């Protein structure tokens, strides 16, 4: 999680989620698209798993947006040519920042790992 000074831990988590979750969704969608052209015996299973991940990520994005709205937190994507830049406004505080590429990769990896682990746990518990 990226720390923005003057904000609570919950607000920092919401900002990070608002920035990272759309990137996680993009990664899964790109991987699903690439998988569609592969000749794999388990391709149907992989595509179904990707669909479930996409659904769950979209659900979490909606939840995070709702929580951000309740907290009067606004996060907007920065410059179009700089995908890791964003700005936020919350309780009179505002700032525009750029997330370092390494941080973004780490956050995306951690979120993706969590979604995959949760999906695996659902399959095992059935």
Instruction: Please enumerate in sequence order all residues whose Cβ is within 8 A of that of 19, keeping only pairs 6 or more positions apart, or say none.
Output: 75, 86, 99
Q: pTM for the complete prediction?
A: 0.88
Query: What pLDDT, on the 0 to 100 scale, is given for residue 1?
Result: 64
The closest alpha carbon to 20, from 100, 119, 117, belongs to 100
CA torsion sign for 28, 31, 37, 39 is: negative
Query: What pLDDT, on the 0 to 100 scale, is given for residue 7?
Result: 87
Average of per-residue pLDDT across 60-65? 97
What 3-state DSSP class applies to 90? strand
Average of per-residue pLDDT across 40-45? 89
Average of per-residue pLDDT across 26-40? 92
Encode burial over 86-108: b for 16+ CB neighbours within 10 A, e otherwise. Answer: bebebeeeeeeeebeeebbeebb
Between 32 and 78, whose confidence is greater? 32
Query: What pLDDT, on the 0 to 100 scale, is given for residue 96?
Result: 86
Query: What pLDDT, on the 0 to 100 scale, is given for residue 17?
Result: 94
Between 117 and 40, whose confidence is greater? 117
What 3-state DSSP class applies to 52? helix
Tell me 91's DSSP state.
Answer: T
- Taking only the tens place, the pLDDT of each residue in 77-118 is 877 677 688 999 998 888 888 888 899 999 999 999 999 999
Q: What mean pLDDT is reported for the chain?
A: 90
Cα separation, 58 vs 55, whole angstroms:
5
Structure tokens at 37: 């052209």
């Amino acid at each position: 999680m990226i720390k923005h000074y003057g904000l609570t831990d919950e607000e920092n988590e919401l900002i990070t989620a608002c920035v990272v979750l759309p990137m996680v969704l993009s990664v899964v969608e790109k991987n699903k698209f690439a998988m569609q052209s592969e000749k794999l015996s388990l391709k149907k299973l992989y595509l179904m798993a990707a669909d479930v991940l996409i659904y769950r990520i979209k659900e979490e994005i909606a939840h995070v947006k709702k929580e951000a709205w309740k907290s009067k937190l606004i996060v907007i994507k920065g410059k179009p040519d700089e995908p890791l830049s964003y700005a936020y406004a919350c309780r009179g505080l505002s700032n525009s920042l750029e997330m370092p590429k390494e941080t973004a990769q780490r956050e995306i990896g951690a979120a993706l790992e969590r979604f995959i682990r949760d999906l695996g746990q659902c399959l095992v518990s059935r």
